[in-house]
Amino acid sequence: MRTRASKALALGAALIVATLGMNSAFADGMQKFKMRFAGGFVQNILQLQVDPMGQPTGVVENRNIVIGKGIGTLGRVDVMGVGFSGPPESDKLCPDGLIKVADIVENNLVLTFNDLSLLYGNGTGVVCSDPLNPTEPPTAEIDGTWDGGTGRFSGASGTWSSQFDFFESVGVATQFVAEAGMLEGYIT
């Protein structure tokens, strides 16, 4: 009987220490994080746009969806993102030697962690292509902000950036891509 009580007490103390450690990490202000992710990306999804009251506007735009998994400083996470790309009209630049083929006008993220805490983000970026290697898939760079969340990320803010280091078409005409990359930045 005493052994069970001792084990239960030790487990309870470990859980409290782990929770306090996680909570104090966010109470200390801006924290740096890194996260590797991998998943699937579906592009060119037609979506009827609506006004702020939810009424259809008659405008149809292309959207894309990413579904993935990640692991890093903040723990294990499921990644869900919805983006909108458009013609290359902004002043955002590609790395040297690459040409811009599209602007990422909007990229919304919801990260769902194992404890069911949510973290919300929004970003913009560029899609770049290598003119010397036209058969290689394009690369994307996105910069964004954290716009709150739930649970341990309630009231979260900060900045993030994402780069892809693997991007490969799956199938011939499906508009489906496997991708992997890094999400990093700061969170308060």
pLDDT band at 10 (very low <50, low <70, confident <90, very high): very low
- pLDDT over 90 (residue 8): no
pLDDT above 70 as % of the chain: 82
For residue 14, the model assigns a pLDDT of 41
Q: What is the mean pLDDT of residues 122-133?
A: 92
Q: Tell me which of 42 and 119 has the higher pLDDT.
A: 119
Note whether 103 and 82 are within 8 A (CB): no
Q: Tell me which of 43 and 7 has the higher pLDDT.
A: 43
pLDDT tens digit string along 57-116?
887 777 889 999 999 999 999 999 998 888 888 888 998 889 999 899 999 999 999 999
- pLDDT over 50 (residue 161): yes
- pLDDT over 60 (residue 124): yes
DSSP the chain: -HHHHHHHHHHHHHHHHHHHHHHHHHHTS-EEEEEEEEEEEEEEEEEEEE-TTS-EEEEEEEEEEEEEEEEETTEEEEEEEEEEEE-S-SS--PPTT-EEEEEEEEEEEEEEETT--EEEEEEEEEEEE-TT-TTSPPEEEEEEEEEEESGGGTT-EEEEEEEEEEEEEESSSS-EEEEEEEEEEEE-
